[in-house]
Structure 1
Amino acid sequence: MTGYRRVLAHLREDVLGVLEPGDGLPPERELAIRFGVARMTVRRALDELATEGLIDRLVGVGTFVAYPKRNIHVQLTSYTEEMTRRGMIPTATVLDFGAVAASDHVARQLRLEPGDAVLRYRRLFYADGQPMSVDENFLVPQHVPGMAKASPPPSLYRYLSEEYGLVIDWGEDTIEATSATPSLARLLTIDARDPLLKIERRAYVGRVIVDFSVSYYRADRYRLSVPLQRPRRAQQHRPVLRGR
């Protein structure tokens, strides 16, 4: 076995079987001494592990065991159902729940006038006790009369279905990369300006927009998985929606 292959095998064994996510690896110089190889050989092995998604290399900081990334599947399952399916324990903290004035952007998405009242529901989601995402939902009060006076529901889409007969059947997502603001960074226990995956969603019941949401996912914990299918002729294609 070549020096590179030997180093790669030992480091992969350490990352997968000895160390925990977030643990730091020794500097390249120490690893080179440990394995009796050149630093270039160690660097090549670390690059391979980084390509495989097993480690994160932060310039000027160090090399760390990567947290496993969870796929975001665009489908009709709630956050609780999705995390449970993956063998993780889902929890959430309510950050805000109540009526607010719609900003220009929120009003445009919900087809309202700026300043109109909307119901805002903001939560911090966890999986196995680790913060995963910050979600902010905006609803039109006329569609959910009395909801602002109720307790925040654990599952929003299930609540809309059971209490108001509003079954979200399709949606439109806008996905982009962004960086964490100081407030988001504090909630997600990351550094300000760390990368985030931002998803804006308009959720519909028929032709009516019921919910507009903005979600910020930790880029080091998530990757997006979008199934693609060639549309059939004379068949309307609608995206499938993951509930919240």
Structure 2
Amino acid sequence: MAADRDRLDGPRTVLRPLVQACGRITNVSTSKFAFVRDALLERIDAMSPGEPMPAERSLAVELKVSRMTLRRALDDLVRHGVVVRRHGLGTFVAPAKVNPSLAITSFTDDMLRRGMRPSAHILADEVVLAGARLGRRLQVSPGERLLRVTQLRLADDLPMAIEVLATPIAVVPGLTGKDLENTSFYDLLQRHYGIVVTGGRQTIEPTVTDEDESRHLGVPLHSPAFLFERTSHDPSGRVVEFVRSVYRGDRYQIVTDLSHPDTVVDASDPDPGLATT
């Protein structure tokens, strides 16, 4: 379990401040409610992702509150992705959130690196014309033929993301969506076409799931999500893919290390203890 927490940022480190902040947003002012929620968070901090919570009756007795108050607190934690309810089984600590790598890496490689088992279900596989928008993204003419593959990405059989990949047929002649079910696109590019992806550009923004995305990801309609859009290129600068992915907001978080530019010390400074001017 400790290894799992090392590879994934789970509730032990991030959920308490997150939910405390969210609590202020929901404008819950009842002191008893806040006490119960904080007590539950303390317990969750000491638990592992996927571990079952005690029965509501025993928790209510332990905290000396009514089951109604306890249920309200649990409902709040469910809304914020701290715990999950499974029909007929009970309430469980939510799976640890994944920090997606910001390096050039495939979903398959990223999940394997975290000790998770990646898989994919091909939802659509078609040849389309690029059109104006995809043509601009892929730097090809609007009439260029593209392979467009829509996949449901899973890790340990849990739906994680909906991914739409578009790549020029001229780059990957003979490739089909079925080829991507058990391996990564980058691996296929390198092994079968001798193409190495060396760089790219990615944007990330918040969004909510539509009906199709909600159904495939197993989340309520308009659930919070992350929208990733990425173009990747080979050493010559040729764009080889455009990918649009919608990741579940309750399974992903974005973590960035920050530094202040004025605090960077010049390595040539004879006294690194003094700030440069």
Q: TM-score, normalised by structure 1?
A: 0.71
Q: How does 1:158-173 map to 2 (within 5 A)?
A: 158-173=187-202
* Contact kept? 1:7, 1:35, Cα under 8 Å: no
Query: Kindly tell me: are residues 22 and 131 of structure 1, through their superposed partners in 2, closer, same or farther at Cα, counting changes over 3 Å?
Result: farther
Shift of 1:224: 1.9
Q: How does 1:1-244 map to 2 (within 5 A)?
A: 8=38, 12-13=42-43, 16-17=46-47, 20=50, 26=56, 34-36=62-64, 54-55=82-83, 65-148=93-176, 151-152=179-180, 154-206=183-235, 207-226=237-256
Shift of 1:141: 1.5
AA aligned to 1:192 is: L
**Distance across 2 between alignment mates of 1:26 and 1:160:** 52
Identity %: 32
Q: Which structure 2 segments of 5+ residues have no match? A: 1-31, 85-90, 265-277
* Contact kept? 1:22, 1:66, Cα under 8 Å: no
Shift of 1:128: 1.2
**Distance across 1 between alignment mates of 2:214 and 2:258:** 33
Query: Which one scores higher on RCO, CA 8 angstroms, separation ≥ 6?
Result: 1
Query: Kindly tell me: are residues 166 and 226 of structure 1, through their superposed partners in 2, closer, same or farther at Cα, counting changes over 3 Å?
Result: farther
Shift of 1:138: 0.7
**Distance across 1 between alignment mates of 2:41 and 2:131:** 50
Query: Kindly tell me: are residues 84 and 17 of structure 1, through their superposed partners in 2, closer, same or farther at Cα, counting changes over 3 Å?
Result: same
**Distance across 2 between alignment mates of 1:129 and 1:150:** 18
SS of alignment partner, residue 73 of structure 1? coil
* Contact kept? 1:133, 1:188, Cα under 8 Å: yes
Higher helix share: 2
> Which segment is superposed worse, 148-157 or 15-24?
15-24
* Contact kept? 2:119, 2:157, Cα under 8 Å: yes
**Distance across 2 between alignment mates of 1:117 and 1:22:** 50
* Contact kept? 2:227, 2:245, Cα under 8 Å: yes
AA aligned to 1:213 is: V
Query: Kindly tell me: are residues 123 and 22 of structure 1, through their superposed partners in 2, closer, same or farther at Cα, counting changes over 3 Å?
Result: farther
Query: Kindly tell me: are residues 228 and 168 of structure 1, through their superposed partners in 2, closer, same or farther at Cα, counting changes over 3 Å?
Result: farther
Alignment coverage as a number of residue pairs:
224
